[in-house]
Structure 1
Amino acid sequence: MSNPAAGVGPAATILVVDDTEASRYLAGSWLRRNGYRVVEAGTGGAALEAVAHRRPDLVLLDVNLPDISGIEVCERLKADPVTAAVPVIHMSATAIEPDDRTHGLNRGADGYLVEPVDPAELVAIVESALRYSRARSVAEQLARRLTKLTEATLTINSAGSFEDFLVAVAAGASAIFEAPATALATTMQGEVRIAADSADHLHSGGTEPAVLDDLTAALLPPHLRTAVSGGHELGWRPGRRSTIALSRAKPGAGVVCIAIDDEVAATEQDRDVLIQLGQVSALAVDALRTLTREHELAVSLQRSFLPRRIPARPDLPMAARYLPASRHAEIGGDFYEVTELDGRLLIAVGDVSGHSLEAALVMGEVRHALRAYAAEGHGLVAILDRLDVVVSRFHPEGLTTACLILLDPATGAAEVACAGHIPPLLADETGTRYLAIRGPLLGVGLPRPPATRLDLPAGTLVLLITDGLIERSGADIDAAMETLAENVSHDADLEALCDRLLDQFGRDAQDDIALLAFRREG
């Protein structure tokens, strides 16, 4: 499995490409003194061969090479998906004009140095490029893992048998962490079943529950075995070559064991993803044992994509609801999200059209991507632009909408951006009103207006909904929005308000419903 920290710091490998041996020697010696491993090449062809065989972490590339220009070498590297992420820094003794430098940057280079280069500047530029490369690699890896987690969640929860469930857990863990994985659990009859990351390795153990104790005893230290048997939700430990996670839905429920043949718990992000997979697996196996009706299973799966809880803050009380369409047994694509970001909150609702596993998969990807982009520090419009690319590239056939609010509860300063969604409803002492904001749907590639800035005074209530709450076939949605506004007051109890709105507007809904209400208390 790839290591997100590989290629950063003193252990990084730098390929120095220059047709002048003295220049290669000088640059290489400066880098070696700072702890880097250095590989040298004197021509463009040799550089391409070295990259193919050694996969350096950064290429220091002379522009003027005897066979292939450094600019062309850079273009070839950036055009290859295998090497596109490797940072390339051009060096030249002749390119001293701004146009010369921008020419190389515009054609793929990540930096440009003009010789003679100060040793300290060279090392600083190299370290900066490696830091950026590592951050991008970590973000991309997290996005990939969250996408694989969503796919595994769907497969795990849709498994029709215990054997299929275990195969889905093992295969999902292997796909997420790119390493061999094994899943273990007990059936309702007490049989121990084990599945490797291939269905060919599925086999069952003995019928006695003691077999599970023997297996966990072999895998886990005594203190962790005690914690799990005492009803704790999850235990994990990184081993020398493996990471083992145990999870169960509730005290007394069956334990699910996931073993990854690698130290995936080396980072907090890895641990979080593995913990989520364990929680999903534990909930799914419990559902297999207890749920008997298709609709109940569908609703359980839908709710697994929504936040398990929302922040409990005295300065910003909130309540949220999700209600599946009463005429459908399938799952859908409505969601809400609350993410804490260094003192501010990102609050969002969204809607992916359809009532199917595909709609839920898209919804899960959009929600996970939304959280990842928000965690990276992007503004609301930048988040929507990135979600637009994700939807248009991978799911262009559906309709996806979203409304985002970024709020500082301490000051009331807020930003709002919409993508084809019903705007937020604000209620205060003067009455109710919808924010006059618009924006194109996700996935259509159209430009977006800037985010709307506003202040939310203390006592202001904000309601976010999906259109399933008010949209009915043949009815005027504008009139329905006005009727909704008439039934909201700024001082309403939030939990009671959500229940009342669902009872009044959600009966016989033909679409899923998500709503979230919050009030700034000051």
Structure 2
Amino acid sequence: MSVKGKAVSTVSTVLVVDDVPASRYALSAVLRRDGHRVLLAASAGEALIELDVRMRAGDLPDVALVDVGLPDMSGYELCRRMKQLPPIAALPVVHFSAAARPPADRCRGLDAGGESYLTVPAEPEEIQAVVRAAARGGRCRSDAQLRVGRLALLAGTILDVQSARCLGELAEAAAVGTARLTGVPATVFVLGEDGELHLGFSRRRAAESLPDAGAHEAVSRLMQRVMSGRTGVRYSVVPAPLWPPGFFRPVGSAAHWGDGTPEDAGLALARLSQGRTLVCLATPAYQQEPAGETGHLVERLAHATALAAEPLLMYEEERHVALTLQRSFLPAQLPELPGTDVVVRYEPASRQAEIGGDFYAALSTPAGVLTGIGDVVGHSLEAATVMVEIRHALRAYCVEDPDPGVLAWRLDRMLQHYHPGVTATMCLSLVDPATGHTRIANAGHIPPLVVRDEGAAVYVEAKGPLLGLGLGLDRPPPSEVVLARSERLLMVTDGLIETRGTDLAVSMEQLRLAAAGAPLGVAALCDTLLACFGHEREDDIALLALRRTG
């Protein structure tokens, strides 16, 4: 094997453990004539110390030649102890003795874990052949253990890749696994059909040390050029002058080997036969082809990464469609609402979460200002679509009768008729700006908070069954309160405060206390609550705050 043309020695190192100096000298001479390096120990204790030092340095011998008649313990016991130490257990042991031994003693050596037994004096050719055979067997076992370890590493990496919740997580998991398989830094690129490039690095790096957008575009072009519409897995080496710096090491660091040779890039690219995603596992290139089994494993990882990327890409597209739909029907600017100051805030869930159906509405009616907030149960494109239908139905129904109780009843009937099995929560309020008289109908939603300027907040007693249940439950009449000019009406969806493992009542109390301590004004109230509760939420968040100005 070679790395950048430098030969790696395959000479075996033999540890000779013998308490007789003349015998040690004779054996070492025979072994050195056969090209072996020789380490000497006069006792079992010395041998264990030598092995410990070598183990820490990562330079264990290839064979141990052990006399069975050592002064501090038998060679059989030394062998047994060596086989109990995991890092040393694979070291082949050849027992020898200058004294005649019965067959039972020879069997003891094999039972203790030894590979062979020599009776000395023996012909030099026999000693050399036995040691060579033991070294070959040890290398085969080490290679087999290494292959098993690499396969286990590959399996673990594929599991991490398949568990990724987004393309960024997938790229990072694949990069970390590639670096472990190859022993060099790695960067993984996932290129979608729309040209968006997702990156993952095997090492965490400061933002200022990362390649710029121009380097990303150059890599995208290289990936597409190498594959040229092909499918399957392909390995290619990109010469250093064509490969943008900074992907394997921080920008500005020396991107070359110790001998000054520029650092080429080895690319394992994969695209499924019907896939739209192009995956690239990039590492510094040792040679023109991936190194044997390691290269084969990296190519398998590239194929597994492409398999895992396809459904994530489809999910990203579905989520983008849903968010576009939500934003198009949830305007950031509300219509003129005479006599009131109304502010809304909407925050979609993180990229890892599924799509929700949160919505809000604020409408001017002859009877006052109608506000509503709700959430279609479930997380899917269907939930976002039903949300839009409910919001349009609300706008249509309120033209005829804006009473919250009537609207809740009609929306319930509409949902049962057109979307059986789909449920939604909703809270509606109708505020008379002149008098502050407010009617509130609640359908399984968090009740609204009345927040006073003097630092108090209280939930309105408003309850009712979810929309779309279809169980024939009576819907209670709307609750009635009078909203003073010094009070704000706050409505939120449960995505703001709901936390897995925490009782909703506890979260609602935390919300009440935070609202009571918020600054004056409706915008400041919403922004404060988002700052307190809105980080890394698994669900969409909607808030609506109203205050009388007339």
Shorter-chain TM-score tier: 0.3 to 0.5
Greater gyration radius: 2
